[in-house]
């Protein structure tokens, strides 16, 4: 999909979702000068109408283009999403999408078109580190911080990325949006993690996407004793308590999923806790460490994090030992590593350590 003449002379392309955050990001950049264009990525069915996007761009005083990346999104994100659930893992499509599509495929297209900078409405910051190289840091508004979802960005891209909202709070962004008198879409909702599932359950979405889900199997305890039957692996995630249908004196939780045996392992709350984890496919936003380091490990979005010792096994694999055991370490999820508000990198949780 070549991008040529429509982007001639453009300095900054803003990923324009149709919502409040990206619109304010575009407005802040437009105030600094011309050469700003809004790019809406059509990733799946639904989303804002062209009429809303046109009205939004007109209010911002910038041109806009729509890029149809549905094929790329389906291949790089939706196929991954479905595959992970069928393997009994818990995917994180936003982490995957940011790296593969928004800061991957889109950034490649912009580079081909000669557009030097890509901006988004993420609540994150880029600041020079002690060595002068840019660090990726948490947004000032910790309740909206989205740096966790950016852990797989290519470090070499950071000088070409702009996060205009990094120093703002959500309240300040909302107030600025109202001051600009920009239109809201009729069905406007705050951004959500599964943007491609506007309604219904993820199981309904998977069924529509794949045509069928996994076969029923056994619910077992850690010793392999059968406790009941499950509906299919896609209906269960590590840490789940509801919908298990197994009466007990104290609540059962999903503590493990064994796809090779088509089993879902249940246990009591104390069995949910892990001493650590092993992560693979690690992406570093610092010089890859060769020796042990101490950092805060965040094992899912909104997890407060826990201090941990991180042992590099090789350039893309680490062993993580928590300072205190953590509940619901889910294979397939993304783990991010922080020192204070500095994001060091992250990887995919492969398995938990007992």
> Which numeric CATH code is attached to 5-179?
3.40.50.620
- Is 94 a residue of the active site? no
At residue 1, does pLDDT exceed 50? no
Per-residue model confidence (pLDDT) at position 187? 60
Residue 136 to residue 260: CA distance in whole angstroms: 38
More confident residue, 342 or 248: 342
Tokens (6 digits) for 235? 């209906």
Does pLDDT of 190 surpass 80? no
| Long-range pairs of 239-243 with CB within 8 A, sequence gap ≥ 24 | 239/272, 239/327, 239/328, 239/330
Q: Percent of the chain scored above 90 by pLDDT?
A: 87
The sheet carrying 12-15 orders its strands as 64-68, 36-42, 12-15, 117-119, 161-162
Question: Among the listed ranges 68-82, 112-126, 172-186, which one has the minimum average pLDDT value?
Answer: 172-186
- The catalytic position among 44, 55, 134, 195 is 195
pLDDT band at 194 (very low <50, low <70, confident <90, very high): confident
Count the neighbouring beta carbons within 10 Å of the beta carbon of residue 229: 12
Mean pLDDT computed over every residue of the chain: 94
Delimit the CATH 3.40.50.620 region(s) of the chain.
Answer: 5-179
Confidence band (pLDDT; 50, 70, 90) for 192? Answer: low
What band does 317 get if pLDDT is binned at 50, 70 and 90?
very high
- pTM comes to 0.94
Question: Of 10, 26, 97, 266, which residue is the catalytic one?
Answer: 97
321 pLDDT higher than 60: yes
pLDDT, mean of residues 86-108 = 96
Kindly indicate the confidence band of residue 33, based on its pLDDT and cuts at 50, 70 and 90.
Answer: confident
pLDDT bracket for residue 334 (50, 70, 90): very high
Range of lowest pLDDT (127-136, 294-303, 338-347)? 127-136
- Does the annotation mark 97 as catalytic? yes
Query: In the CATH hierarchy, which top-level class contains the domain 214-267?
Result: mainly beta
pLDDT of residue 300: 97
Give start-end residues of each CATH 2.30.30.280 domain in the chain: 214-267
Residue span(s) of the chain under CATH 2.40.30.10 come to 273-353
Is residue 286 within 8 Å of residue 344, measured between CB atoms? yes
**What CATH class is the domain 273-353?**
mainly beta
| Sequence-distant (≥ 6) Cβ neighbours of residue 206 within 8 angstroms | 81, 82, 85, 213, 234
280: pLDDT strictly greater than 50: yes
């Amino acid at each position: 999909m070549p991008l040529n003449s429509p982007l001639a002379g453009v300095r900054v392309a803003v990923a324009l979702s149709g919502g409040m955050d990206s619109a304010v990001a575009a407005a802040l950049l437009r105030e600094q000068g011309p050469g700003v264009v809004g790019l809406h990525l059509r990733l799946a069915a639904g989303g804002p109408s062209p009429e809303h996007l046109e009205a939004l761009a007109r209010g911002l005083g910038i041109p806009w283009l729509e890029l149809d990346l549905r094929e790329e999104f389906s291949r790089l994100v939706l196929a991954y999403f479905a595959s992970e659930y069928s393997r009994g893992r818990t995917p994180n499509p936003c982490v995957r999408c940011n790296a593969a599509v928004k800061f991957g495929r889109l950034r490649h297209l912009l580079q081909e078109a000669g557009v030097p900078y890509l901006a988004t409405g993420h609540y994150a910051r880029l600041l020079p580190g002690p060595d002068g190289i840019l660090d990726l840091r948490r947004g000032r508004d910790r309740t909206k911080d989205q740096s966790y979802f950016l852990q797989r960005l290519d470090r070499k891209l950071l000088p070409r990325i702009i996060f205009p909202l990094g120093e703002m709070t959500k309240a300040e962004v909302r107030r600025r949006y109202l001051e600009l008198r920009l239109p809201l879409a009729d069905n406007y909702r705050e951004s959500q993690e599964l943007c491609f599932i506007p309604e219904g359950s993820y199981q309904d979405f998977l069924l529509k996407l794949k045509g069928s889900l996994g076969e029923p199997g056994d619910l077992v305890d850690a010793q392999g004793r059968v406790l009941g039957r499950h509906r299919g692996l896609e209906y269960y995630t590590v840490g789940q308590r509801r919908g298990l249908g197994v009466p007990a004196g104290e609540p059962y939780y999903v503590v493990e999923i064994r796809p090779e045996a088509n089993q879902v392992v249940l246990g009591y709350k104390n069995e949910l806790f892990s001493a650590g984890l092993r992560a693979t496919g690690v992406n570093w936003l610092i010089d890859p460490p060769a020796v042990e380091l101490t950092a805060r490990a965040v094992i899912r979005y909104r997890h407060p994090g826990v201090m941990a010792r991180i042992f590099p096994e090789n350039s893309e694999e680490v062993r993580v030992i928590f300072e205190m055991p953590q509940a619901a370490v889910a294979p397939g999820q993304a783990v991010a590593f922080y020192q204070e508000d500095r994001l060091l990198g992250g990887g995919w949780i492969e398995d938990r350590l007992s």
